[in-house]
Amino acid sequence: MKKAVFLGAAGAFFFAFTFILNKSMYLSGGNWVWSASLRYLFTLPLLAVTVRIRCGLGGIHSAIAGNPKEWFLWSTVGFGLFYAPVTYAGDHGNAWLIAASWQITITAGVLLAPLFQTRISIRNLSVSAVILAGVFMLQFRDSEISAASAAHTLLPILIGAVAYPLGNRKMMQICTENISTLERVYGMTLCSAPFWLGLAAYGFSDSGAPSANQAFQAFLVALFSGVIATLLFFKATDMVKTDIKWLAAVESTQALEVVFALTGGVLFLGEPMPDAAGFAGILLIIGGIALNSAVSVIRH
């Protein structure tokens, strides 16, 4: 069981590269459009090879062919309308700020419950308020930059935070039990490809082709976050899926993304350390994630 928590923490480490490398691409002059689109366009062949080796591509391709409209719609929502806004936000805030603010998706997931014929958990909603308080403390810690911060970071993150659980939960409803999580992620990446190709075409018309440096860093995001982190986290949750306490512990490791993004941003990008209000906001977010997992255990 401890191994599952370790794998979850390792997954959070590799997920954190998303925020660090996206900011690095911006600092080196890269267009956020390319940062977003290349991440998924590079992830697609990597996942295709992984799925083919592990279980074959026939099952997932048949599932998509049987219900193409739903697959293309909700894949675009779950991946396209999630990652594009978050990447845009990364151009306007420190890596740790984006990583911490992204945890608002936990609150969005709670509020979306009625759309999936489940009741909103008052306990989880109360805990989500702690996470929200931390996010708003981060975003509005300086009144002079609050308006710009909200427009360029918080608003895009809010869009992505709603789109991600909405698209993924819709796809989980659509997928039959014989479609594994890895196959679903590959299928959603494949079906969101038209969105990414369209975004790439816009990027080419707007700023030309990406530099070799940006393409390489986008490939690293695809490899670290799209493949390695995803496989580590899925492996961790599979190991403890029958034990709700350990499952909650594994899920709470996502809070480490904030710690890793903060460390990486300060060490490798020269980002400033958070001030007292920033640290307080981060602690509230991490504490809220831990409490959310604890509440899930108590409820079961």
* The pLDDT of residue 228 is above 80: yes
**Span 214-234, average pLDDT:** 93
Distance in angstroms (rounded) separating the CA atoms of residues 24 and 215: 12
Distance in angstroms (rounded) separating the CA atoms of residues 140 and 278: 9
For residue 244, what pLDDT band results from cuts at 50, 70 and 90?
A: low
pLDDT given for residue 193 in this prediction:
98
Distance in angstroms (rounded) separating the CA atoms of residues 51 and 110: 31
For residue 294, what pLDDT band results from cuts at 50, 70 and 90?
A: confident
Q: Mean pLDDT score of the chain, rounded to an integer?
A: 88
**Span 259-270, average pLDDT:** 92
| pLDDT, greater one: 66 or 153 | 66
**Span 231-235, average pLDDT:** 85
**Span 35-59, average pLDDT:** 96
The 10s digit of each residue's pLDDT in 78-135 is 999 999 999 999 998 889 889 988 888 888 888 887 887 677 778 778 888 888 888 8
Domain ranges of the chain: 2-299
Note the pTM of the prediction, 2 decimals: 0.88
For residue 145, what pLDDT band results from cuts at 50, 70 and 90?
A: low
pLDDT given for residue 38 in this prediction:
97
Burial label for 294, CB within 10 Å (0-12, 13-18, 19+), is middle
* The pLDDT of residue 76 is above 80: yes
Q: Nearest Cα to 86, choosing from 40, 146, 142?
A: 40
Q: Which of 56-60, 106-110, 178-182 has the highest mean pLDDT?
A: 56-60
Q: For 52-56, 94-98, 199-203, which range has the lowest pLDDT when averaged over its residues? A: 94-98
pLDDT given for residue 35 in this prediction:
97
The string of DSSP letters for 170-215 reads HHHHHS-TTS-HHHHHHHHHHHTHHHHHHHHHHHHHHH-SPPHHHH
pLDDT given for residue 297 in this prediction:
62
pLDDT given for residue 149 in this prediction:
67
Q: Which helix (H) or strand (E) holds 65?
A: helix 58-66
Q: How many residues does the chain have?
A: 300
Question: 219 — phi, psi (to 5°)?
Answer: -65, -40
Q: For 59-68, 102-111, 137-146, 258-267, which range has the lowest pLDDT when averaged over its residues? A: 137-146
- Alpha carbons within 13 angstroms on the beta-carbon side of residue 271 total 26
pLDDT given for residue 50 in this prediction:
93
Q: For 137-151, 221-235, 248-262, which range has the lowest pLDDT when averaged over its residues? A: 137-151
**Span 182-193, average pLDDT:** 95
Q: For 7-16, 114-123, 138-147, which range has the lowest pLDDT when averaged over its residues? A: 138-147
Q: What distance lies between CA 261 and its chain's CA centroid? A: 13
